[in-house]
Structure 1
Amino acid sequence: MERLIERSLFASRWLLAPMYLGLVLTIAVLVWIFALELFRFVTGIATMSVDDAILGVLALIDLSLAANLLMIVIFSGYENFVSRMDLEGHVDRPDWQGDVDFSALKLKLVASIVAISGIHLLKVFMDVGKYETEQIRWMVIIHLVFVVSGVLLAAMDWIANHAKRLKKAKPATD
């Protein structure tokens, strides 16, 4: 009975696979939105101000970072929780694939969220007259929460890894 339960629990990891496929579809949605945004950007060049050009580029970068974040989640999540991808030796295989454990995944996610939040905040600062002071204040506070959370998460991971190394290095006492 125990073996059956354990095999069932282990097999249940495949329930996550459709979620990762769904995330692939969200990348397709981001590609579509990117194409629309790029089309608007390119067709508006003749009447574009410098600020409009910078805002347009930042919007495209924002979409690109979101897609990169999704790829990290898809590859790392699938490999950490479902199954290893059999892509050894493939010329296009990312160097980091297979090396990103759950701890590294968390840090990459937070770093990406901070970058996306920072770009969004930069877009707000470029068009500051469009926003109320209170809105900007909350955007800055939220961004700072992301930054502080990332630093604290990295510190917690460093402490945990340092404690593991100390535990391994500590000689056994009888």
Structure 2
Amino acid sequence: MTEGSKNMKRLENNFEHLLFSSRWLMAPVYFGLVLAMVVLLVKFGKEVWGLFAHIMTATGGELIIGVLSLVDIALIMNLLIIIMFSGYENFVSKMDDLHNHQDRPEWMGHIGFSDLKIKLIGSIVAISGIELLKAFMNVDNLSDRHLAWMVGIHITFLCSGVLYALMDRLGGKAH
């Protein structure tokens, strides 16, 4: 091997190590999602407080909308956990020290990028469905146009999710 080819190989190896190390640039993003969960927790607390503050004066529909808002926040927080754990393990580093932890979720380490995308679109459809249900519970205060847009957006998410799952399944059979 000539000196020039050795230098090129060394340069190539250094570049590949730099690329591989760049995955750590995602770590602050996952930490940002932890901070987003803190914000959502504060919002959840505010919603619970508001629900209890008006428990005697609220109608059944208002209570249901309040509870659906809590479910909505819980779904988003669950989704963030899935994204943080699986994204970190798939793209940054394995959480080896936590393998034997008694509280480690069973799915951790088993959700691939494709599974993550399916869970993401499924969560978006569920969140959209909850928002649509909240709108239907409050139908007297919304215009027909607003409701039509919400239904259209939900159907778009639903069809996108079904088509994505179908493409994912067909792609899996090809492998």
The 2-side partners of 1:11 and 1:23 are apart by: 21
What percent of counterpart residues are identical?
51
Q: Residues 4-40 of structure 1, C-alpha deviation per residue, up to 9 Å, x if partnerless?
A: 0000000000000000001000000000000011001
Please show how residues 43-122 of structure 1 align to structure 2 within 5 Å.
43-86=53-96, 87-122=98-133
Aligned length: 164
List gaps (5 residues or longer) in structure 1.
165-174
Q: What corresponds to 2:171 in structure 1? A: 160
Point out the structure with max Rg over C-alpha: 2
With structure 2 as the length reference, what TM-score do the two structures score? 0.93
With structure 1 as the length reference, what TM-score do the two structures score? 0.93
Q: Residues 68-119 of structure 1, C-alpha deviation per residue, up to 9 Å, x if partnerless?
A: 1111111111111100112111000001110000000000000000000000
Following TM superposition, the consecutive aligned residue runs of length 4 or more in structure 1 with deviations greater than 2 angstroms are none
Root-mean-square deviation (Å): 0.6
**Other structure's SS at 1:45 match:** coil
Q: What corresponds to 2:153 in structure 1? A: 142
Instruction: Say yes or no: does 1:5 pair with 2:15.
Output: yes
Q: What corresponds to 2:7 in structure 1? A: none
Deviation at 1:130, TM superposition (A): 1.0
> What code does the residue aligned with 2:120 have?
L
**Other structure's SS at 1:6 match:** helix
The 2-side partners of 1:139 and 1:52 are apart by: 19
The 2-side partners of 1:138 and 1:76 are apart by: 33
The 1-side partners of 2:91 and 2:20 are apart by: 10
The 1-side partners of 2:55 and 2:149 are apart by: 32
